[in-house]
Amino acid sequence: MGTTVAKSWTDDAPSPKALSEHTHLPDPLTYRIKKFFLGAPLNRHSLGQQRLSKRNAFGILSSDCISSSAYGGEQILVALIPAFGLAAFSLFSPLIAVILFMLLIISLSYRDVISTYTRAGGAYVVARENFGTNVSLIAAIELMFGYIITVAIQTAAGVAAVISAFPELSNGKVWITLSVIILLTYVNLRGVKEAGIFFVLPSYLFIGSMLTVFIFGAFRVLNGSLETFETSTPGLLQLGDEQGLLTFAALLMILKAFANGSASLTGLEAVSDSVALFKSPEHVNARRTFSVMAITLAVLVVGIGWLAYLTKAIPYAEGTPTVISLVAKASLGESIFSPIMYLVVQAGTMLILFAGANTCYSAFPNMIRIVARDGYLPKWLTSRGHKLAFSNGILFIATFASGLVIASKASITTLAAIYALAVFVGFTITGLGMAKKVRSESLKRFSLHLTSGVISLITVVVLSVVKFTDGTWLVVVGTPVVLIMMKNFNRRYNSEQRALQVSKADSKATSILRHYVTVLVDQVDLATIGAVRYARSLNPRNLHAVHFVLDDRKAEQIQKAWTSNHAVDDVPIEFIDCPDRRLPNAAVDYSLRITEQPDVELTLLLPRRAYRGFLGRLLHDQTAEEIARSISQLPRVVATIVPFDIDRILSGEITPPVKDEIEVMKPIEPIRAKSEWRTTGEKISHYQEKMMPIGKIQWRKRAHVVGKVTAIRPASMNSAPTLEIEIWDESGGVTLQFLGRREIAGLGVGTTLVAEGMVGERDGALTILNPSYEIQV
């Protein structure tokens, strides 16, 4: 009678096998609708693929800047014509020269900003590092105003280009503008990269069509066939009487014209605010893109202004046809191809203006994410959405821009002054902030930034005074109101953080073994410590903590805080990848895996920080209930929400425990399950050359596999150092166990890992002990 060899750690147990996927919960209706419109969610590890090349970055980020040439020069004439009549054209060229000089100085300043702040160098970041909190918040507010108004004015100007070609659409201007904003919002909710590709070609179409207009215009100038427009055409702005330039009224109108023309420079800040969107090296690619953008803007401003001057293109009182459409029609003439080419120019103008509005859908969410991360806006503005875009920021800007369009009736002249003031406040802060930063480093750089800041400051004063009744009052009055709101947000967040701060005095309860308990960890604070204390009172057989990784940087911070906090020395923490950011599904999958054995029961503890009132709900999202609802459908799994009332601490109703008031008890070392590694007398090789799917590996044989790291489980700090790593490919998953270490340098969830070693088993699952490995970059 032969000897019976056990198949696993106990007789009659099933053969160990590789890890396999589990069935997820059915998607709710709202998620199915989102997936239908936006497509499948992007894996967070594909975020690097959402970075922009220089070509796509030019299409997305420079369109706002270069598209302002379509209406900047026209706005100068809107101010001059009613005041000076045809003499306005003699003032037009000098004002264009002033605008170009400002463009040169500000562009050189921003090139240096991009080189200095290589991740994000907008006015907010520069002010925060050089002027402190209040000035940085003002910069953030003006950037917010500027981006919101950009969406409104650029879409309105794009619709004006359409109406210039098809005047019969003029009665639906507001509704068409709102429809465009809705379309842009939808495109951007589908992801940054897709939005960029969509708007790359229109940018080049506009540039190419305008260069064609300039060439035709130059040709007609040389042969004397360029016609000028009649000044008595119905619908034009009323011509004013010529007057001297030294009167107060004349100077005031010139300043108004200068203020209007400054709108030509809006959009320059978009690249510096979005350096992080570029492919590596980010700041080098951003600087090159910015240089091309500034040169292109200069060429377009000069070309359109030159043709407007020669053709005496007077703006219409209703805003359509636009000056850019008039100069295009004059330059193209009356040839057989002129009508088609004219429509191409108008299409290019329309699309570049829409692309300019689209720029804000990339730059605005990224900018307010930085402000929200600092605690001055609601934290939900930092979350990435279905397609890895900052969806909440996109919806935020679309909502307020739509309100502006309705309030202004899509009037470009009404919006231009507000737009320019908000942007030039940012220019001022950036220039003066950089001057302060480099004053002891380089006289040349100091002079450049000081000049840029002073020029911008003068423009801000002019805009605030001469255009106050035309709309800039909104910025002047609105800025302090929003500043107070943001500081209140920050005070609230800071008080909550102080209430949740973990001290060494936080106690631990003794552990008595029985069933498995897992604490879901989002941050290491008093609420989490309270959940761990409650978990110990349940006397679990095994007590673990789990963090589902949505953000690698946050995971690193949690790991450092966990390993350095003696209150949780006996609780190992596991980091599990959650690439689609759907926490309920990740929790269900984890629970199914833990309870595969029929004698295992699992309690999931979910720390929930309770906030009262409207402000508490506004500043924090609620996910514990969603996870609990999903877990409640599983057998042998209990989800327990452990509430922690922040407001009672803030109000003084209860006091956080201090060291003298509690007794710190030494936890009992939990008994861990024994893993039995069995070998046979058969001859085996010491290396497996052939790569194989994880699902095909066999117990007690060597395996050579490659997969994505989905979970990392270091042992607790007061136990023997071990590290378990879970890797998966399309066929299944396997655990790699390393003895004598708690980490592997350069390894994180989402990393691709190649491993080779002997396949054993642990608790019925295949495990490779101390494999040789290679991290693939």
16-39 tens-digit pLDDT = 776 666 656 566 666 666 665 666
Q: Give the pLDDT score at 617.
A: 60
For residue 732, pLDDT over 70 is answered with yes
pLDDT tens column, 382-419: 777 655 566 788 888 899 999 888 988 887 777 877 87
Model confidence at 672: pLDDT above 70: no
d(CA 345, CA 332): 10
Task: State the pLDDT at residue 671.
Answer: 35
Contact 88, 248 (CB under 8 A): no
**What are the φ and ψ backbone dihedral angles of 744, each rounded to 5 degrees?**
-125, 120
pLDDT digits (tens, 9 = 90+) for 44-66: 555 454 556 666 777 667 777 78
Contact assessment for residue 744 and residue 723, using Cβ atoms and an 8 Å cutoff: yes
CA–CA gap between residue 697 and residue 682 (Å, rounded): 17
- For residue 567, how many other CB atoms are within 10 A of its CB? 22
pLDDT of residue 371: 82
- From the CB of residue 578, how many other CB atoms can be counted at a distance below 10 Å? 21
Output DSSP code: residue 9.
S
Residue of 409, 8, 36 lying closest to 186 (CA atoms): 36
Q: Which of 136-140, 240-244, 398-402 has the highest mean pLDDT?
A: 398-402
Distances (CA, A) of 752 to 408, 489, 723, 767, 777: 53, 41, 17, 18, 7
- Distance from first CA to last CA of the chain, Å, rounded? 54
Strand partners of residue 753: 707, 775
How many residues can be counted in the chain?
A: 777
Q: Which tokens in the block code for residue 680?
A: 């046979």
* CA dihedral sign of residues 391, 425, 269, 347: positive
**Which of 180-194, 322-336, 478-492, 514-528 shows the lowest per-residue confidence on average (mean pLDDT)?**
180-194
Q: What one-letter code names the amino acid at 125?
A: V
321-325, 482-486, 602-606, 684-688: the lowest-pLDDT one = 684-688
* DSSP string for residues in 141-169: HHHHHHHHHHHHHHHHHHHHHHHHH-GGG
Strand runs (DSSP E) across 444-600, as ranges?
A: 516-520, 542-549, 573-577
Joined tokens for residue 305: 């202004």
DSSP state of 612: -
- Kindly indicate the confidence band of residue 145, based on its pLDDT and cuts at 50, 70 and 90: confident
In this predicted structure, what is the pLDDT of residue 179? 92
Q: Which residues contact 232 (CB under 8 A, 6 or more apart)?
A: none
CB atoms within 10 A of CB 204: 14
Nearest to 198, CA basis, from 3, 82, 352: 352
- Among 330-339, 424-433, 645-654, name the most confident range: 424-433
Distance in angstroms (rounded) separating the CA atoms of residues 100 and 265: 9
Structural contact between residues 489 and 378, judged by C-beta atoms closer than 8 angstroms: yes
How far apart are alpha carbons 412 and 460 in whole angstroms?
19
**Position 50, amino acid:** Q
520 Cβ contact list (under 8 Å, min separation 6): 545, 546, 547, 548, 587, 604, 605, 606, 607, 627
**Tokens found for residue 168:** 């019969």
Which one has a higher pLDDT value, 195 or 456?
Answer: 456
Q: Alpha-carbon dihedral of residues 170, 172, 175, 178, nearest 10 degrees?
A: -20
Q: Which residues contact 776 (CB under 8 A, 6 or more apart)?
A: 706, 751, 752, 753, 754
Residues 112/449, Cβ–Cβ less than 8 Å = yes
Q: How far apart are CA 519 and CA 459, in angstroms?
A: 57
Q: How many CB atoms lie within 10 A of CB 163?
A: 24
**Cα(120)–Cα(107) distance, integer angstroms:** 16
SS3 for 525-537, per residue?
A: CHHHHHHHHHHHH
Nearest partner of 44 among 388, 557, 407, judged by Cα: 388
Cross-strand pairs, 767: 735, 760
SS (H, E, C) 461-483: HHHHHHCHHHHHHHHHHHHHHHH
Token pair belonging to 172: 């639906």
430/376 Cα distance (integer angstroms) = 20
Q: What share of the chain is helix, strand, coil (3-state, %, to 5)?
A: 60, 10, 30
User: Can you read off the two tokens belonging to residue 48?
Assistant: 């690097």
What local confidence, expressed as pLDDT, does residue 119 receive? 64
Distance CA 153, CA 559 (A): 46
- Per DSSP, the three-state class of 762 is strand
Phi, psi angles (nearest 5°) of residue 507: -90, 165
- The pLDDT, as a whole number, for residue 647 is 67
Q: 606: part of which helix (H) or strand (E)?
A: strand 602-610
DSSP, collapsed to helix, strand or coil, labels residue 436 as: helix
Average pLDDT of span 652-672: 43
Name the one residue in this structure whose structure tokens are 């990393």: 751
Over 70: is that where the pLDDT of 523 sits? yes
Tokens in use for 711?
């979970």
Given a contact cutoff of 8 angstroms between Cβ atoms, the answer to whether 242 and 85 are in contact is yes
353 within 8 A of 70, measured Cβ to Cβ: yes
Q: Please state, in angstroms and rounded to a whole number, the distance separating the CA atoms of residues 496 and 743.
A: 32
Q: Residue 605 CB: number of other CB atoms within 10 A?
A: 24
Backbone angles phi, psi at 235, to 5 degrees: 95, -10
- Per-residue pLDDT, averaged over 654-681, amounts to 41
Say if residue 721 is preceded by a cis peptide, omega within 30 of 0.
no
Question: Which sign does the torsion angle of CA 421, 424, 428, 429 carry?
Answer: positive
Residue 507 has pLDDT above 50, yes or no: no
Give dist(CA 608, CA 566) in Å, integer: 22
Residue 230: the pLDDT is 83
Instruction: Tell me if residue 774 falls in helix, strand or coil.
Output: strand
Mean pLDDT score of the chain, rounded to an integer?
Answer: 78
Tokens of 496: 């909550």
CA angle 216, 219, 224 (to 5 degrees): 120
pLDDT: is 730 or 509 the higher one? 730
CB neighbour list of residue 624: distance below 8 Å, 6 or more residues apart: 606, 607, 608, 641
Q: How many CB atoms lie within 10 A of CB 401?
A: 29
User: Model pTM?
Assistant: 0.63
- Count Cα neighbours of 533 within 13 Å in the Cβ-side half-sphere: 18
Instruction: Using alpha carbons, list the distances in angstroms from residue 720 to 91, 550, 714, 738.
Output: 82, 29, 10, 11
Mean pLDDT value across residues 598-619: 74
Pick from 370, 642, 615, 373: which is nearest to 521 by CA?
642
When comparing pLDDT for 534 and 472, which is higher? 534
- Round to whole Å and give the CA distance between 332 and 340: 10
Task: Answer with the residue of higher pLDDT: 127 or 388.
Answer: 127
Best-predicted range by mean pLDDT (52-56, 323-327, 336-340): 323-327
Beta strands in 412-496, from DSSP E residues, in sequence order: none
Phi, psi of 733 (to 5 degrees): -135, 160
Print the SS3 string covering 645-695.
Answer: EHHHHHCCCCCCCCHHHCCCCCCCCCCCCCCCCCCCCCCCCCCCCCCCCHH
| The amino acid at 537 | S
